[in-house]
Amino acid sequence: MSPLRWTCKSTYRLADELRRLGHEVSQRTVCDLLAQLDYSLQSTRKTREGGQHEDRDAQFAHIAKQVTEYQAAGEPVISVDTKKKELIGDFKNAGREWQPKGTPEEIRVHDFIDPELGKVAPYGVYDLTANVGGVNVGIDHDTAEFAVESIRRWWREMGEAAYPQARRLLITADCGGSNGHRVRLWRRELQRLADELKLTIQVCHFPPGTSKWNKIEHRMFCHITANWRGWPLVSRQVVVNLIGCTTTREGLRIKAGIDENTYAKGIKVTDEELATLAIERDEFHGEWNYRLLPRTQHVQM
């Protein structure tokens, strides 16, 4: 078989190769022939989610049932995740913004990290019922401690006032990352938060490979991305301001702030520490669905 049967050459090179083989053909003719064969220039499309778990749909139904139950009882339901880390400085930010003609925003040619400004990790908490959210903009590592601190700040600054009679909190989260279902530190820190707030904290994880279904992705993060499109994120305060002024016609409001704490990586949680957790697991996929009960006496660990 000719190697030209399967090729990624441009139409100009295809025409050159065909002429070497004795065919009188132009680049334009190659384009026309490809069009007749129903070919067109196309970019890749993100559609494959990887392996699909056999209980994927059942887990979606389980999450929907829990959310409906909590909302009917007036209890808070939040969706959480870490947004993509962003370089701070005069770097390219995807998208276009209205500017006077011929005066585009000038930015650096290369995206080499600025050692002084570094990156930020925006951790979001989205209230499914109230359509409001909080974003904790971290400047250090994206760890489970950071994730739970972000939830703590949302509760203290927004959730507590909105749900003064709350006895339970439902968290929907991805299966991986700093709030992954296998992360021991995530469960330990949630236990500490449950003890502190005297709330039962229930967690439902989305099945593997389905993070795009997490509500925060298409109800909050996408609007933040659209709001700061084309704007260089030249400082941490600019990030906070652009997140905080993100709104939608449906009434979305977001509160954002900087988290200047440092979070150590590689913290190990022992079996003995796990044994002290007041954790209850659902019969259906207890590794994805579980609750942490507030202990009557806070255990120092």
**pLDDT mean values, one per 10 residues, the chain (301 residues):** 58 88 91 89 64 85 96 97 90 70 65 82 97 97 97 97 97 94 97 97 94 91 90 89 94 96 96 96 96 75 42
pLDDT of residue 213: 87
pLDDT of residue 101: 74
pLDDT of residue 1: 42
pLDDT of residue 51: 56
To the question of pTM greater than 0.95 for the whole model, the response is no
Q: What is the dihedral of CA 269, 270, 273, 275, to 10 degrees?
A: 120
- The predicted-structure confidence for 183-200, as pLDDT tens digits, reads as follows 999 999 999 999 999 999
pLDDT of residue 298: 46
289-292 vs 200-205, strand pairing mode: antiparallel
Query: Could you tell me if 185 and 42 are in contact, meaning their C-beta atoms sit under 8 angstroms apart?
Result: no
**How many separate helices (H) and strands (E) can be counted in the chain?**
10, 9
- The predicted-structure confidence for 43-90, as pLDDT tens digits, reads as follows 666 655 555 788 889 999 999 999 999 999 999 999 999 999 998 987
> Judging by beta carbons within 10 Å of its beta carbon (0-12, 13-18, 19+), is residue 74 exposed, middle or buried?
exposed
The conformation of residue 128, written as its DSSP 8-state character, comes to: T
Candidates 209, 222, 180; CA nearest to 47 is 209
pLDDT of residue 89: 86
pLDDT of residue 299: 47
CA distance 14 to 207: 45
- The answer to whether domain 56-292 has CATH 1.10.575 is no
pLDDT of residue 212: 86
Candidates 196, 261, 209; CA nearest to 49 is 209
Q: What percent of the chain has pLDDT over 70?
A: 87
pLDDT of residue 61: 95
Q: How many CB atoms lie within 10 A of CB 119?
A: 17
CA distance 285 to 301: 28
Residue ranges, comma separated, of all CATH 3.30.420 domains in the chain are: 56-292
Tokens 């080499």, residue located: 112
